[in-house]
Copies of this chain bind each other. A is one copy, B any other.
Amino acid sequence: MKLVVIGGDAAGMSAASQARKRLGPDQLEIVAFERGHFTSYSACGIPYWIGGAVTERAKLIARTPEVHREAGIDVRLRHEVVTIDPDRRLVIARDLAGGGEVRENFDHLMYATGATPVIPEWAGVTASGVFGVQTLDDGAAIQEWLASDPAPRTAVVIGGGYIGVEMAEALLKRGLDVTLLEKSAQPMGKTVDPDVGELVAEAIRGQGIKVVTEAHVDSLETEGGRVRAVVTPGGSLPADIVVMGLGVRPNTALATAAGLPVGPTGGLRTDRRMRVEGTDGIWAAGDCVESRHLITGEPVHVPLGTHANKQGRVAGINLAGGYATFPGVIGTAVTKVCELEVARTGLTEKEAARAGFAYVTARVESTSRAGYYPGASKMMIKLIAERRTGTLLGAQIVGKAEAAKRIDALAVAVWNRMTVEEMTALDLSYAPPFAPVWDPVLIAARKATDAVHKAM
């Protein structure tokens, strides 16, 4: 039996490794095609490598091609798959280094091509010095550009989502003069509610990053094929480097050409075992698929490494004859912006409204530790609860050290459809170095309960 994997990062190689764990090389041959130079790396770590917190590229690589090969996985780097023929169970790949073509038949196909950054068709957008941040090759290219002579001194980051904000900070740490452009009223506008985004904007500005909101880009100015500036209605912003942080789209070109089904989000449709719908033995996972949102029931595209790993593992177990499922997501995410920790789970107000929920909100300020204990810092929790039932729909946290990971307790509460009233009784951990005697989560639950009662 043969498994062919397309894409050598988290989703694809998790699947390959899980399958290998269950079936030895005599039972399952595994060939993995990867377009780039690396396997099994942490794309999420790239901003920290650019910023210098992570000192070596090698640290971002969980498993090198050599390690995979030792496990009996035939990794072919710099091979781009150009055709999938589901009927003939055939994959055709181009050797980007050698130029030849490779054909591999498969019994199982693992589709894990990830996502590609959204790049608008602006004049100049293909100039050198304009980067997406999606693959480790992208990261390496940025590092090389930053190390070039003369060294870039000005940067414009376009898009204020996670990647944009993290890259803005990274470039600031590298000593560049950084401007962040965001088309909505606040950075992270898709991620958190405006009142929370306001706190994020403040923190970013406080670090010395220029933040331009409600920004529009007309084009990029270039000179000799290199980017020089970002042209906006308000003037030209000098930019020796431009980073694109406008989000990503599922990379499904190959799949759609092969007739595989794509959902309304643009991601491949799979069942909960990660089998591509309507196929036999074709599996998909990671940034190229869509998931089910467990609160709204709607399909969503949430390109995060944690889902890619889980889905890849599930696909690998199933294709090797086991049983595992990926039921869906609830929109949990976390990031660190300078010293500020920002986290969310479930639905934001906008998302709740779009899904048709009537809701109440509660926002509380508290501290990460007992107020009297050294190192206590302020944190804010916002809860969104369904109006009639009091069911927790979503939560957002902003704070400093030790604040954001509290989102996990709230994520488990959302997952289990707890009401905010039941949450007021939750037996959460307390000791002065860890929380006030009323953990901020409990205070927020109390306030949300009051809001639910008032709205009745």
Contacts and interface: CB of A to CB of B under 8 A. Distances in A.
A309 interface: yes
A426 B324 CA distance: 13
Chain A interface residue bracket vs B: 35 or more
B434 A329 contact: no
Contact of A426 (B373, B411, B425): B411
Interface string A314-354: 00000000001111011111111000010101000000000
B48 A335 contact: no
Contact of A429 (B324, B327, B404, B435): B404
Interface string A413-442: 101101000001111111111110111011
Contacts of A53: 373-374
Contacts of A329: 427
A85 interface: no
B45 A372 contact: yes
A69 to B, nearest CB: 22
A54 B402 contact: no
Interface string A433-453: 111011101100000000000
Nearest to A293: B427
A184 to B, nearest CB: 21
A66 to B, nearest CB: 18
Contact of A433 (B10, B333, B336, B437): B336
A310 to B, nearest CB: 7
A407 interface: yes
A413 B411 contact: no
Interface in A394-416: 402, 404-409, 411-413, 415-416
A309 B438 contact: yes
Contacts of A409: 408-409, 411-412
A315 to B, nearest CB: 13
A304 interface: yes
Interface in A371-390: 371-374
Interface of A: 10, 42, 44-45, 48, 53-54, 59-60, 162, 294, 304-307, 309-310, 324-327, 329-336, 341, 343, 345, 370-374, 402, 404-409, 411-413, 415-416, 418, 424-435, 437-439, 441-442
